Amino acid sequence: MDITPSRGVKEFREQVGVIWRHKWLVLLSVVIITTVATGATILFSTKQYQSSTEILQQDSGLDRALMGSQMFQNPGDQPERYLATAAELVVSQPVNTTVSKALGNRLAGRDPASMVSVSVVSQADILKITATDHDPQLASDVANSYANNYIAWRQQTDNSILQQAEVPIQAQLSNMTPDQQQGSTYNSLNNKLQTLKMLQTIQTGNLQIVNKAVPAASPSSPRPMRIGLLAFFSSLIFAFGAVFTVEMTDKRIRSSDEITSRVDKPILASIPFLRSADRELETLSNPAGPASEAYRILKTNLSYMEPDNEIKSIMISSSEPNDGKSTTIANLAVTLARGGKKIIVIEGDLRRPTLADYLDLSNSIGVTNVISGISNLRESLQMIEARELSNQITNDNFDNDQLFAQLNGTKPIYCVTSGPIPPNPGEMVASEKMSAIIDEAAGHADLVLVDAPPLLAAADATSIASKVDGAILVVKLNSTAKKSLNVIDDFISTVPCKVLGVVVTNAPGFNSYKKGNGYYDVYNYR
C-alpha cells in the first residue's frame, strides 16, 4: 500500500512549516495588534448608549366598518413593502423637523436623523426606532420623540384625508332645498359627514407604541471583547500575510522540505547545529552528542546505498562555500573508522583547501606533489587518530591489518592534503593522475572520501565526480541560497556518477539527539 503523502498534503505541511519557522513573527503580531487595538478602544473611544422604541403597525379597519370603504393606506398583500415604506417615513423631513424643535438645544446643533436607525422586526408588524448617543437619557428621548411625532404626523395625514372627504358632502348638503333636507338622501349624507368627524377624533394612524425607550444602563459601544476578537483574527491575517511575504522574498533554504521538493534525492542525514568551544571534531570531542548520532545515521544510510554495486570512493561537495562539506567529510571519516573501516580522505579542493588547517595537518606534501611526480601517495599520507592509538602505527605499516585488529576494531584515518596550491588547479583535478591517486587509495582502503570544491566555485567538482563511484552533496539550512538547488539539480542530471543523496547541516535539533538539558545552537561548518 502506497503511504506516500499526496502533493496537497505535502504543500500543506510546507505551509505549516513556513508558519512554524516564523512563529515569533506571528506571535508578536497577534499580541501587539490585539493589545493595541483593544487598549486604544478602551482608552480613546467615547461610550455610546442605545435606546429603542417599538411601534406596532396595525390596520384597525374602522374606515371600512364605519364608511363601508377604505379611506387610509392598507398593507394589502405586500406588508413587507408597506413596513419598509413606513420605516423611511419615520425620518422624513416633516417628522425630523418636529423632533428637532422638540429637543431644541439638547441636540447641540446635530441632525437627530444622524442619531437614529429604523428597522423592521422580523416576522412582526413592528417598527423599531433605535437612537444612539453618548448621553443615555438623550438617546432614549430621541427614540421616543421620533415615535411620538411619527404617530402624530400619521394621524395628521389621515385626518387630512378625512377632512378632504368632508368637502364634497358638505357642498351637497348646502345645496339642498328645505324640502330635500327632509328626505332620505339628506339624512344619509349627514350621517356620513358625522361619521367622518367621529373618525377624526378616534383614529390613531393605525400605530401604537408597544415598547417605550428607556435610558440604557450600560454602553452599547465600545465592546472591548468584540474589538479584541476582530483584532485577533485581523492580526492573524496580517501575520500570515507577512510570513508568506517574507518567505517569498527569503532567498535562503529554511527547511529540509524545500530540498526534497526540488531535489530528487534522499536526505541521508540532518546534522544539528551545535556549540563547539574549539576546532575539535565533534565525533571525537563529544561522541555521545547529537551531531555524532547524526553522523552515525549517515554512516548507516550509506551502507544501504547501491547494495548491488561496491562503492569504494565518494566525493563530498556543496553548492556554496562554508556549507559544511569539510566538517562532514572529517566527522564521517571518524565514524566510519570507529566502525572498522579503513578510510583515506583526499583533499580535492586545490583552489581553497581547508582540510589541512581544519585537521591541523601539514600541507607541505599532498595531492599536487603526487600529481607532479615529486612524491608518491604513501609519502603524502598523514594519519588522524579516530581514538588514542599506539605510536606503532606509521605510514610504513599502513597495510598492517593484524596491528589494527589490536585496536578494538577502530582503524586510523589517513589524509592526503592538497599540497602547495598550483597555478592550474582545474587541469590537475581533471587529469588522469588525479584518477590514479583515487584508484590507488581505493586499493588500500575500504572507502576513499574526496573533499571537492563547491559546485558554484568551479567545474572541478564535475571533473572529480567522473573519477569516483558516488557523490554526496551538502546543503546548509539558513545559509545556502534557494537558487543553489537549481545548480544541484543540474549537477545530478549531468554528472557521470551516482549522486547518493544530500546531507543537511545546521538543521534544527531533534529530541532523539538531545541529552539532558543541553541545547546546541552554533557550530562552525567548513
Crossing angle (nearest 10°) for helices 184-202 and 136-174: 170
Q: How confident is the model at residue 432 (pLDDT cuts 50, 70, 90)?
A: very high
Comparing C-alpha atoms, which of 379, 447, 388, 386 is closest to residue 417?
Answer: 379
The listed range with the strongest mean pLDDT (220-224, 339-343, 433-437, 489-493) is: 433-437
pLDDT of residue 406: 47
Q: What is the mean pLDDT of residues 229-253?
A: 84
φ/ψ of 443, rounded to 5, equals -75, -20
Percent of the chain at pLDDT > 90 equals 29
Which amino acid, one-letter code, is at 275?
A: R
Residue with cell 541529552: 515
Q: What pLDDT score does 258 carry? A: 81
- The CATH number of 251-513 is which of 3.30.1330.30, 3.30.460.80, 3.40.50.300, 3.40.47.10? 3.40.50.300
Would you say residue 518 has pLDDT above 70?
no
pLDDT tens profile 299-316: 999 888 777 678 899 999
DSSP assignment of 21-39, as one string?
HTHHHHHHHHHHHHHHHHH
Instruction: Tell me what the mean pLDDT of segment 126-152 comes to.
Output: 91
Least confident of 256-265, 290-299, 388-397: 388-397
Query: What are residue 415's DSSP bridge partners?
Result: 345, 382
Residue 273 has pLDDT above 60, yes or no: yes
Res 135 pLDDT > 80: yes
Instruction: Summarize pLDDT for 88-111 with one digit per residue, the tens.
Output: 888 889 899 999 999 999 998 899
- How much is the mean pLDDT over the chain? 80
pLDDT tier at 456, thresholds 50, 70, 90 = confident
Say whether pLDDT at 275 is over 70: no
Q: Tell me the DSSP string of 172-230.
A: HHHT--TTGGGSHHHHHHHHHHHHHHHHHHH--TTEEEEE-----SS-SB--HHHHHHH
CA 151-152-154 angle, to 5 degrees, is: 65
pLDDT band, residue 52 (cuts 50/70/90): very high
* Sole residue written with cell 583547501: 353
What confidence tier does 49 reach under pLDDT thresholds 50, 70, 90? very high
pLDDT recorded at residue 381:
92
CA distances to 251, 261, 319, 400, 486 from 248, in Å: 8, 16, 21, 57, 17
Q: Is it the case that residue 282 has pLDDT exceeding 50? A: yes
Of residues 394 and 481, more confidently modeled: 481
Domain spans, the chain: 7-45+224-248, 49-211, 251-513
Q: Is cis: bond before 222, omega within 30 of 0?
A: yes
Q: Is the dihedral of CA 177, 183, 188, 193 positive or negative?
A: positive
CA 289, 290, 292 angle in degrees (round to 5)?
70
The yes-or-no verdict on residue 188 having pLDDT over 60 is: yes
Instruction: Give the rounded percent of residues in the chain with a pLDDT score beyond 70.
Output: 81
